[in-house]
């Protein structure tokens, strides 16, 4: 949501070149939504428990959303497309170059993230902190620094995702609500602790919603995905591709 508006600000209003506007959007998102939220909100409330942190982040999301609605515009804004929207026919399937480009771009980003997590010392340190914060600290890992870097990385990826989906859904103050929920339960279905699990969950959610809308009714497309979510939580709570882990504080 906020990164999409930032892209409009830099590209449409400030008239920066597309690449420069995209880079500026990622940097602003990383600093504000990553470092800023972690330092000003998460670091102060984490000691009080999970519930105050959840309430505070939901409140922050509502504040940003309705501030954009009130002080910018409640209307949907057009967004510059990265790729051409010319259609391509593959047999009986018609797709656009934009859809193919988004998939390939996302695949490159996800592949780079997977390599970063599994092949670099910083990625290994992040995994160690995620599995056992206390032991990681004893081993000399700066837990606070790693958490901050993780927040900043997450914010940068959020900006990239916003830039990819905004040309399709347009830029609006509530753009992230439905997509965020779908991403959340797609990750649960596939497995939170596996990147490939999240991809599988997203694919399943997309296929189920599309087929249910085509052959049953578009009114029930969200319901069928939620049925799968409930079934996975009952039968395999760690997700289809997830791995059971023992968590320690």
**Cα–Cα distance, 105 to 88 (Å, whole number):** 18
For the cut 60, the answer to whether the pLDDT of residue 187 exceeds it is: yes
**Cα–Cα distance, 24 to 197 (Å, whole number):** 31
- Residue 87 inside a domain? The answer is no
Please report which helix (H) or strand (E) contains residue 93, including its range: strand 93-96
**Cα–Cα distance, 110 to 116 (Å, whole number):** 10
Q: pLDDT tens-digit profile of 202-245?
A: 889 888 888 888 888 888 888 888 899 999 999 988 888 877 76
Q: Are residues 207 and 186 in the same domain?
A: yes
**Cα–Cα distance, 197 to 212 (Å, whole number):** 22
Q: Considering its fold, how many domains does the chain have in total? A: 2
Range of the domain at 210: 173-241
Q: Average pLDDT in the 126-148 region?
A: 90
Q: Are residues 165 and 179 in the same domain?
A: no
For the cut 90, the answer to whether the pLDDT of residue 120 exceeds it is: yes
For the cut 70, the answer to whether the pLDDT of residue 2 exceeds it is: yes
Neighbours of 243 (CB within 10 A): 11
Last residue of a domain, one of 172, 196, 229: 172
Neighbours of 104 (CB within 10 A): 11
Comparing 142 with 195, the larger pLDDT belongs to 142
User: What's this model's pTM, rounded to 2 decimal places?
Assistant: 0.85
Q: Are residues 206 and 227 in the same domain?
A: yes
For the cut 70, the answer to whether the pLDDT of residue 248 exceeds it is: no
- Tell me if residue 242 falls in helix, strand or coil: coil
């Amino acid at each position: 949501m906020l990164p999409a508006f930032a892209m409009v600000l830099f590209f449409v209003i400030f008239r920066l070149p597309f690449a420069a506007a995209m880079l500026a959007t990622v940097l602003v998102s990383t600093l504000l939504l990553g470092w800023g939220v972690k330092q000003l909100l998460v670091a102060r409330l984490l000691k009080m428990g999970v519930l105050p942190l959840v309430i505070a982040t939901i409140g922050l999301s509502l504040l940003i959303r309705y501030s954009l609605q009130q002080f910018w515009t409640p209307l949907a804004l057009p967004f510059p497309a990265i790729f051409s929207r010319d259609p391509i026919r593959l047999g009986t399937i018609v797709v656009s170059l934009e859809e193919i480009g988004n998939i390939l771009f996302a695949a490159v980003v996800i592949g780079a993230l997977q390599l970063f997590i599994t092949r670099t010392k910083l990625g290994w340190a992040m995994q160690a902190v995620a599995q056992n914060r206390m032991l990681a600290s004893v081993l000399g890992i700066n837990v606070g620094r790693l958490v901050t870097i993780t927040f900043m990385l997450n914010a940068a990826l959020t900006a990239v995702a916003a830039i990819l989906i905004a040309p399709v859904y347009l830029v609006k103050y509530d753009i992230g609500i439905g997509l965020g929920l779908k991403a959340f339960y797609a990750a649960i279905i596939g497995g939170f602790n596996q990147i490939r699990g999240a991809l599988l969950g997203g694919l399943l959610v997309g296929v189920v919603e599309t087929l249910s809308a085509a052959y049953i009714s578009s009114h029930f497309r969200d319901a069928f995905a939620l049925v799968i979510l409930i079934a996975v939580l009952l039968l395999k709570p760690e997700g289809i591709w997830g791995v059971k882990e023992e968590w320690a504080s």
